Structure 1
């Protein structure tokens, strides 16, 4: 069953992160397939890289960190304007065969978007690109202790633990926001489906109120930077590709290459770029590059490092590099690293420390081992991902499942009092 229209909802309309990039990609793929698409975004939307055939509905707001403290707290907990925008869109476009796909809400739209979508939950898919649907800080990671967190979200121990990457006050905000989300969207009762990008995410997400029965694995699509194998064994550079933020572990990689003597090339931008560039002048900073621009320089890579402080749910650039024949260096709690290690194309750093990461880099000194890892990556890593068309069809299968189930139950709508529980 093909939807008559797909309404895609995303915090932002620029490809500043994986969630936004995938939301935009899905819109283009559905449009190319001849399915009408409306793209709802929390930002301006004016520069969204979308064809004119796709309707863009924008709120015109900025992410929370770009607002005053008071407005950031108020709208971060419950953005009434976002709710009204989504409700107006639903009132104008809704029909029994229209589906809704929520890709991101934590930066602008807030938990208020769930209240707006409550009447169409039977035709809703929520994409879990991260762990914010379950964990208040989005990563199941204690940034203070520098270790993976196994606490039950919003439990007494969770509430009493200072784990946030910024401050206890930020943790209090995130906990409150998670509680609001739980009130506006009851995971165990909702007919909505949750798309997870890796099967290993499910045990983490189900620690909260999300039901395992409503989780569906849809692996992200990835296309190789290079169709021909990168001869990694002939190269020397270690690459990092991604956002330059604390949780991505960029400084950890810089510290490790200072020990190992390799050259680190960083493709990306972020809040820590300026500080780290001064602290590590030996690092080569390439800035943000397009997929094709990365393809032009990835031929000098000996390995790609993924030093994230949090358990990485997927790691799109890791799959793109692996398919190009570039081995991976990562920590054992990375889901992709676990799979790549079994394929023989990942060098594991046993502990999250510069010394352990440097020891993993030292293993790259074996040309034979690097060549074998490169060959295995190029041949076998494609099984860990899918093509864009396969990904599109997997999403359409989720929509068909929702439409069929909605038709069976008549698309029941929650009581208005429940929908208005957090209205302001």
Structure 2
């Protein structure tokens, strides 16, 4: 069956985070590959800037949950009625047997309600698991109160009574209810929906949440290195950390570890945790948010990059971007990329999520010869740990076509007759 169109569904039509950036990138690459694309977003869609005249875009016009009054946040976050109606209406008016639906981020605006609307086309539905939100109530398999990785089965009785939320237990109960509701609206354990994980080490965690192994397909994220030429890390002394300054990202652990080994820590990024960190670690050099090219220039001074997240890190984009630039990484064992980089000889794994363990890992990179070898291995070997943008797009196109072929076989075997379908999507007015 011909791949006629891909409908990309995402909370926002701007690159506000990693999932949104990937959703927009996929829209551009699919369009450039000659595949018709529709982009449905929970926001207004007004800031969508990719081939405006040729990629259909429609926005619901809703705001992210954190910008809503508390009562609307509770209701819309669990079940956004408008989002359900809009997606259902789009499918009723525009669906064809060759249309694939691909959901990226949905938890901040669209809510679980969209899975009810997508249930009639679950055999042609792909959902990207950028994190563990599909299965874990807090989205991260982490106990924020204990600063530990959660080993419980999601939505079990023990999960229900676990006070693991970063805020209050009441927030945990709401997240638990929302996650349970998603399972009722579309049971991923009993559907033909395809879950696209971003790393093979995610798959066992997704299975723990009830997603069958056969429905999970791994498509590694695309990576564009910060630098085209190898950074001569062995000549440098500074430690870098890149990303949001939130408690769970462990910047304070890295700052304490850097202080213990007497190296300068430079932080590229910003966030809610910055004020407290500035007070506690005035010796840290804060660089703020920077463009990809500006980061390239800053990292010419990097000896290594640290990713000290307290949470499981399914991919770790900045780690991959650094490795492919020839910069070794240091990370905790719950970062999947750390284990791979260690096996390739270009990364150090800190076994415990604390400053002492991290400082010990830092000290292993005092030897210039060791860093030189790790830098060369990172530059040469780490590209195998990720996709390029083009290979990433090609893998998804192949996945879409395999889904259509599988459904065509199922339809033929069941002797089902489909009703006539529209030949092309109806024009959109700019809103769902």
Q: Does 1:5 find its partner at 2:5?
A: yes
Aligned to 1:420: none
Relative to structure 2, which stretch is displaced further, 140-149 or 282-291? 282-291
**Higher deviation after alignment, 242-251 or 335-344:** 242-251
Written as runs of structure 1 = structure 2, the 5 A alignment for 1:261-410 is: 261-410=262-411
Which residue number in structure 2 is paired with residue 422 of structure 1? Answer: none
Q: CA deviation at 1:78?
A: 0.5
User: Within 2, Cα distance between the matches of 1:182 and 1:332?
Assistant: 30
Q: Equivalent residues in 2 for 1:126-137 (5 A)? A: 126-137=127-138
Structure 1 equivalent of residue 428 of structure 2: none
Q: Distance in 2 between matches of 1:271 and 1:58?
A: 29
Deviation, structure 1 residue 37:
0.9
Residue 417 of structure 1: aligned partner = none
Deviations 1:274-332 (A, max 9, x none): 33234333222222222222222221111111111111101111111101100001001
- Report what 1:258 is aligned to: 259
Say which is worse superposed, 218-227 or 252-261, in terms of deviation. 252-261
1:241-256 residue pairs with structure 2 within 5 A? 241-256=242-257
User: Aligned partners of 1:116 and 1:232: how far apart in 2?
Assistant: 51
The CA RMSD measured in Å over matched residues stands at 1.6
1:6-61 per-position Cα deviation (integer Å, ceiling 9, x unaligned):
10001122222211111111001011112111111112222234221212111122
Report the Cα offset of residue 261 of structure 1: 2.2
How many aligned residue pairs are there? 413
Contact preservation (8 Å) 1:12, 1:20: yes
Report the CA distance between 1:2 and its aligned residue.
Answer: 4.8
More displaced, 12-21 or 166-175? 12-21
Change over 3 Å in CA distance of 1:263–1:287 after alignment to 2: same
Matches within 5 A, 1:88-103: 88-103=89-104
Instruction: Report the CA distance between 1:94 and its aligned residue.
Output: 0.9
Aligned 1:190-269 pairs, distance under 5 A:
190-269=191-270
Relative to structure 1, is the Cα distance of residues 250 and 62 closer, same or farther in structure 2, using a 3 angstrom cutoff? farther
Moved over 4 A (4+): none
TM-score where L is the length of structure 2:
0.92
- Structure 1 position 40 matched with structure 2 position 53: no
- d(CA) in 1 for partners of 2:326 and 2:117? 45
Residue 387 of structure 1, CA deviation: 1.1
Which digits, 9 at most, give the CA deviation of each residue in 1:139-184, with x for residues without a partner? 1111112111111111111111111111211111110011001101
Contact 1:232 1:302 in 2 (8 A): yes
Relative distance call for 1:201 and 1:59 in structure 2 (3 A) is: same
| Other-structure match for 2:423 | none
Cα deviation digits, residues 185-219 of structure 1 (max 9, x gap): 10111111000001111111111221111000100
User: Which residue number in structure 2 is paired with residue 24 of structure 1?
Assistant: 24
Give the whole-Å Cα distance in 1 for the aligned partners of 2:2 and 2:260. 55
Partner of 1:146: 147
Comparing 95-104 with 346-355, greater Cα deviation is found at: 346-355
Q: Secondary structure at the match of 1:206?
A: helix
Identify if the C-alpha distance between structure 1 residues 293 and 48 changes in structure 2 by more than 3 Å, giving closer, same or farther.
Answer: farther
- CA separation in 2, counterparts of 1:308 and 1:403? 39
**SS of the counterpart of 2:190?**
coil
Helix, strand or coil for the counterpart of 2:304? strand
TM (norm. structure 1) is 0.94
The more displaced of 244-253 and 337-346 is 244-253
1:153, 1:300 → 2: CA distance? 43
C-alpha separation between the residues in 2 aligned to 1:295 and 1:89?
42
Query: Is the CA contact (8 Å cut-off) linking 1:24 and 1:49 kept in structure 2?
Result: no
Structure 2 residues without counterparts, runs of 5 or longer: 418-432
User: How far apart are the structure 2 equivalents of 1:138 and 1:380?
Assistant: 31
> 1:271: Cα distance to partner?
2.4
Give SS of 1:226's match: coil
Provide, for residues 74-131 of structure 1, a one-character-per-residue CA deviation record: whole Å limited to 9, x for no partner.
1111111111121222223211101100001111111001011111111110000000
Aligned counterpart, 1:421? none
Instruction: Please report how far the alpha carbon of residue 249 of structure 1 lies from its aligned counterpart in structure 2 after TM superposition.
Output: 1.5
Could you tell which deviates more after superposition, 250-259 or 71-80?
250-259
Query: 1:249, 1:49 → 2: CA distance?
Result: 34
Q: CA deviation at 1:342?
A: 0.5
Q: Distance in 2 between matches of 1:375 and 1:11?
A: 40
Q: How far apart in 2 are the matches of 1:263 and 1:347? A: 18
> Kindly tell me: are residues 66 and 281 of structure 1, through their superposed partners in 2, closer, same or farther at Cα, counting changes over 3 Å?
farther
> What runs of 5+ residues in structure 1 fail to find an aligned partner?
414-424
